[in-house]
Amino acid sequence: MAINHIMGGQELLCINTEKVYDWVLNEATFDLNIDGLELPINTVTGAQLECDDINLNTISCEVIPAEEDSIVVLDREDQVFIIDGAEVTLQVVNIRKCFDVIVYAQLIPELGGGAIEIGTATFSRCEQVILCAPEGTDINVSYTDLNCFVCSVNCDTGTTTEIDELNVAITVRICQSIQSTHEVTIELEADFCQPRDMLPVPPCPTPTIPAQCPVVFPAVEPEISKKKKHVPSNKNSLGMMSTEPQSVEETTHTIQESNEITAVEDESNELTNQELTLNEELLNEATHSEAPTNEEATETKGEE
């Protein structure tokens, strides 16, 4: 059943929400030195870890907001700024942020090579930010990126009665969203939303079989097509020898045409020879018919 929106059902609504007075994105990077982290006890063997038991090249860190008082607004002070030629009263807000840094290390292969937590250090950093944040507004800070990396590390070997300590220099990078907000009640005119239609559940799939290969099986003996072979053909073109390759069919066709031409030429020559022979016979007959015989010549002379 299709569900339509209720048209003409608008009414004035009062909604409690938060108004954003100002919003900035801020990036901060700072260095942190953590000294005197005592090496813990090996949870597997129960023995006190020493500097030689950890791989100093595997020291890593993790930074997270502190569980208590992670964001503290120390104070705010009004200050007049000239923006686009107009005087604007903004607030310089001092913020303190607290973090926990956890330091990890890898044991040497002889001790299993697993990761262990060396210790946790809590630290805080302060910063100033200019906001439209009059008295009564709330300052909300959320982290879009919060990470750290170890810059340098060394381990102090203690005496027989002292515990070895780890000294680490860490760089922390913070990407943060800072907003000044205040709860407000707003009035607006709107339509009431309606639920959407239910999506149909896909039916059970029908049984299928894998695609077959009828080209190769089952099929009659496949007909293997023969490739045309190319043979070189010599052609005289303007006194030069041509090496353009011709197929066997083209060569056979050319030879047949040549044989046909030769046969026609031989037939023509034979006809010509026959005609010459016939002409010679006719000429001889004409010559014999025109020349008088000896008897005819004697009779003619006697009559004279």
Q: What is the pLDDT, as a whole number, of residue 225? A: 54
Q: What is the pLDDT, as a whole number, of residue 81? A: 93
pLDDT in tens, the chain (304 residues): 454 555 556 788 899 999 999 999 989 898 999 998 989 888 777 888 888 889 899 999 999 999 888 999 999 999 999 999 999 999 999 999 999 999 999 888 888 778 889 999 999 999 999 999 999 999 999 999 999 999 999 998 876 668 888 999 999 999 999 999 999 999 999 888 888 888 888 888 888 888 888 888 886 665 555 555 555 554 444 444 444 444 444 545 554 555 555 554 555 555 555 655 665 666 565 555 544 554 444 444 444 3
Residue 285 lies in a domain: no
Q: What are the backbone angles phi and psi of residue 124, rounded to the nearest 5°? A: -135, 155
Q: What is the pLDDT, as a whole number, of residue 41? A: 87
CB atoms inside a 10 Å sphere around CB 80: 8
Structure-block tokens of residue 207? 């049984």
Residue 5 lies in a domain: no
Residue 99 lies in a domain: yes
Q: What is the pLDDT, as a whole number, of residue 120? A: 92
Residue 206 lies in a domain: no
Q: What is the pLDDT, as a whole number, of residue 179? A: 95
Q: What is the pLDDT, as a whole number, of residue 301? A: 45
For the chain, how many structural domains are there in total?
1
Domain range enclosing 71: 12-190
Q: Which amino acid is at 258?
A: S
Residue 182 lies in a domain: yes
DSSP 259: H
Residue 18 lies in a domain: yes
- CA geometry: angle 296, 302, 304, nearest 5 deg: 105
Mapping DSSP to helix (H, G, I), strand (E, B) and coil, where does residue 175 land? strand
Residue 147 lies in a domain: yes
- The DSSP code sequence of 128-158 is EEEE---TTPEEEEEEEEEEEEEEEEEEE--
Q: How far apart are CA 300 and CA 280, in angstroms?
A: 30
Residue 202 lies in a domain: no
Q: What is the pLDDT, as a whole number, of residue 108? A: 87
Q: What is the pLDDT, as a whole number, of residue 237? A: 42
Q: What is the pLDDT, as a whole number, of residue 207? A: 86
Structure-block tokens of residue 163? 């515990």
